[in-house]
Structure 1
Amino acid sequence: MEVKSMSGKADLGATIGATLTISSKTYSAWSLRGWLLCKLAGLDVAEQQVANDAANRAELLLLSPSVLVPRLSYMGASVWDTLAIAEFLNEQFPDAHMLPAEPIARAHCRSISGEIHSGFTNLRSALPMNLKVRHASFPVFSGARPDIERIEAIWNECMERYGGPFLFGEKPTVADAMYAPVATRFISYAVAVSPVSEAYCQTIAEWEPMKEWAAAARAEPEEMEELDVEF
């Protein structure tokens, strides 16, 4: 049976084991990050989507010891953490330039990517990713305000230093894949942000891989549920 890739074309990568296990495209921020990382690398993968029910959760446990998505299977490797996926893909596809070429910028990119990976829990809980909603206004929990301010500070510094429209210049990097779900949250919940941050959110929204993912999310059945670990 022919395996179809994310683009709908016959997937050469799938024949050598390139598979990305994901959850809901509507709600799963981590799945989006992993998928965007594959796009940055130029790796065309087959998707394996796992819903959040007891049976599939058990299946995920067999596939991924941390019960987290995404999980990339490629060339015999199984990688299930987004930053690990980023580093793995950067090693496998150095010509994709997933990280900035200049060492100081590359260190900066890794640092802010690690920060979003491990922090901002109040923002995650107050504004969960949902690509099917668009609020005209939304009350933001006060505990999430410091997270929003810190994210804006990161974005503003990057724009000043590297010139935009992406965080490290003209081309997207690992950092943009990591912050893309945050941009969707700010848009979905009409979060008041600076003009610089608003422009960056629009850059992410108009990024072709992001548009592809969002269209697929809108086509998902309404009963798709978010994995608890998203928070």
Structure 2
Amino acid sequence: MVTLYVANKNYSSWSLRPWILMRELGIAFDEQVRPFTDGPALAFGDVSPSGRFPCLVDGETVVWDSLAIAEYLAEAHPQVWPADKQARAFARSAAAEMHSSFPHLRNICGMNVGIRVELREIPAGLATDIARLDTLWTEGLTRFGGPFLAGDKFTAVDAFYTAVAFRVQTYDIKLSAPAAAYARRLLALPAMQDWYAAALKETWRKQAYENEALAAGRIVADYRQTA
């Protein structure tokens, strides 16, 4: 069985992607969780060549990037991507866009699933990212009929946007009706509920990520357990 190494479920948006993909598609794996600390940023070098998680270990094979993990899994599990060629092209493009874009959404609204934040403002760059997100989600839902971004089945492109759904919840990000419904749909997935429940039980904290939330706005609720 493959082993998937992930970091804190409260913070690690990148770890969520392959974890939720494998859970939703029924791909068996052994899970290993290690927390971020206030120490070095590249803290997982004993497992991952990049020093970052997620990292998938399959015997002698090590895959240390979330998009690379999705592609590696697709070699044995073609349902990772949509069967339809047009839907698959859209899904790969949208997943890659999430992998490389939305810098203001990432930097201002960092993943912190256990809290709720009232944003002080929505700077122009963040507004642009939110508008693009809304357009992208609406396009996929409209072109391929939903309820997921590339059709009627959950695929890797949806996995890549699950962390955004958590951000929508944490920061009360306003979206159009179709996009908002899609975010709620992702949050309601059983595997997403399992990730969320585990995140709330974590007592690990990384101060840099807590400071990001404080910089973004006023924390109006914190549902996480304390040590």
Task: Pick the aligned partner of 2:58 from 57, 71, 74.
Answer: 74
Indicate the SS of the match to 1:63: coil
Between the aligned residues of both structures, percent identity stands at: 37
Comparing 34-43 with 171-180, greater Cα deviation is found at 34-43
How does 1:9-28 map onto structure 2 within 5 Å?
Answer: 13=1, 18-28=2-12
Structure 2 regions of 5+ residues with no counterpart?
A: 213-227
**Does the CA contact (< 8 Å) of 2:42 and 2:52 recur in 1?**
no
How does 1:51-70 map onto structure 2 within 5 Å?
Answer: 51-53=35-37, 60-70=44-54
In the aligned structure 2, how far is the partner of 1:193 from the partner of 1:58? Answer: 34
Task: Pick the aligned partner of 1:224 from 202, 205, 222.
Answer: 205
Correspondence 1:193 to 2:175: yes
Task: Pick the aligned partner of 1:144 from 115, 120, 126.
Answer: 126
Indicate the SS of the match to 1:51: coil
Equivalent residue for 2:197? 215
Q: Please state how far the C-alpha of 1:92 moved relative to its aligned partner.
A: 1.7
Correspondence 1:176 to 2:158: yes
Correspondence 1:162 to 2:144: yes
Correspondence 1:35 to 2:19: yes
Q: Please state how far the C-alpha of 1:54 moved relative to its aligned partner.
A: 7.0
**Does the CA contact (< 8 Å) of 1:27 and 1:226 recur in 2?**
no
Equivalent residue for 1:3? none
TM-score by length of 2: 0.85
Structure 1 regions of 5+ residues with no counterpart?
A: 1-12
In the aligned structure 2, how far is the partner of 1:226 from the partner of 1:103? Answer: 44
Equivalent residue for 1:93? 77
Equivalent residue for 1:83? 67
Equivalent residue for 1:116? 98
Q: Please state how far the C-alpha of 1:50 moved relative to its aligned partner.
A: 1.9
TM-score by length of 1: 0.84
Task: Pick the aligned partner of 2:34 from 28, 50, 71.
Answer: 50
Q: Please state how far the C-alpha of 1:104 moved relative to its aligned partner.
A: 1.4
In the aligned structure 1, how far is the partner of 2:87 from the partner of 2:187? Answer: 24
Q: Please state how far the C-alpha of 1:45 moved relative to its aligned partner.
A: 1.8
1:68 aligned partner, one-letter code = R
Q: Deviations over 1:81-139 (max 9, x none)?
A: 11110011111223xx1111111111111001000001111110110111111246653
**Does the CA contact (< 8 Å) of 1:25 and 1:32 recur in 2?**
yes
**Does the CA contact (< 8 Å) of 2:3 and 2:56 recur in 1?**
yes
Task: Pick the aligned partner of 2:184 from 179, 202, 219.
Answer: 202
In the aligned structure 2, how far is the partner of 1:113 from the partner of 1:22? Answer: 19
User: How many matched pairs?
Assistant: 210
**Does the CA contact (< 8 Å) of 2:38 and 2:208 recur in 1?**
no
| CA 39–56 in structure 1, closer or farther in 2 if over 3 Å, else same | farther
| CA 107–50 in structure 1, closer or farther in 2 if over 3 Å, else same | same
Q: C-alpha root-mean-square deviation of aligned residues, in Å?
A: 2.1
| CA 57–51 in structure 1, closer or farther in 2 if over 3 Å, else same | farther
1:181 aligned partner, one-letter code = A
